[in-house]
Amino acid sequence: MQAAASAKKNVIVTGANSGLGLWTTRHLLDLGYQVILACRDVNKTKQVMAKLPKVYPENAFRIKKLDLADFTSIRSFVLNLPDDEKIYGLVCNAGISYEGDFRYTKNGIEETFGTNYVGHFYSLYCWLKNLNRQELSWYPVNCITPIISRRLQKLI
């Protein structure tokens, strides 16, 4: 895809501060897209982006807080997108994994399932619910969720 075709098109990438999300973000920036980095830890994301070569225009990306383990954060993220800003794509990449005792989201869901699956589906639901703010100009990308539990990795 050429940069001209992607000019001024906004893409949201969840979990954009490491791994596949970071590489996806860099690729989209290379193609000329404007990227909204939707991450739980804004400071970590700023540090990661500051380490990248200064080849992207300053306004090519924005960092916004999104905690997929918290429905309030998801609603806030969606509602704080400007009404006049069309979203062309959504890459659902964020994911977590942990060992040990069960942990739960603020909404009482087991944390891995709540973040990796329910959080993405709820965010997509919120975006779809708010589509009346703009014409349909974006396309959700399947949830990538690159995390495989460490327990499963030990079995392989």
CATH code, domain carrying 142: 3.40.50.720
* pTM greater than 0.85 (yes/no): no
Using a pLDDT cut of 70, give the percent of the chain over it. Answer: 79
Cα torsion angle, 92, 94, 19, 48, sign: positive
Domain total of the chain? 1
| Predicted local confidence at residue 148, as pLDDT | 41
Q: Residue 62 sits in which domain range?
A: 3-155
Confidence of residue 124 (pLDDT cuts 50, 70, 90): confident
Whether residue 40 contacts residue 66, with contact meaning beta carbons closer than 8 Å, is answered with yes
Mean of pLDDT over the chain: 82
Average pLDDT over residues 51-64: 87
| Predicted local confidence at residue 7, as pLDDT | 58
Higher pLDDT: 84 or 41? It is: 41
Give phi and psi for 50, each to the nearest 5: -70, -25
